Structure 1
């Protein structure tokens, strides 16, 4: 999955696959997580957020199922 670099103190890049509704998040520490059944608009809001980490914490973590993939 292609990821887009973001300006964040914790997140390096994010990507979204519309067909599988999978959001992929790469953290600066090298960890990569996939979040499942995430709508496209959530990805768009995430990359446009003034605080990517804040948006992730409030609107993604604890809302969508996930697994660590890297």
Structure 2
């Protein structure tokens, strides 16, 4: 999955696979996670958000998406 660098103090890069609805996020602290069954609209809103870190916290991290740490 290709990741796109984003302007954020917390998130480094974001990738998305619409076929599997898998969102991948690389954090500035070095962690990388995959989140599953994330609708395309959530990914689009994350990429459009003025504060990607705040959007991630409110709409992805606290939304109980299943996830796993990649590294």
For the aligned pair, the TM-score class normalised by the smaller chain equals: over 0.9
Runs of at least 4 residues off by over 3 Å: none
RMSD: 0.7
Instruction: List alignment gaps of at least 5 residues for structure 2.
Output: none
CA distance in 2, matches of 1:10, 1:62: 16
2:60 maps to 1:60: yes
Instruction: List alignment gaps of at least 5 residues for structure 1.
Output: none
* TM-score where L is the length of structure 2: 0.94
* TM-score where L is the length of structure 1: 0.95
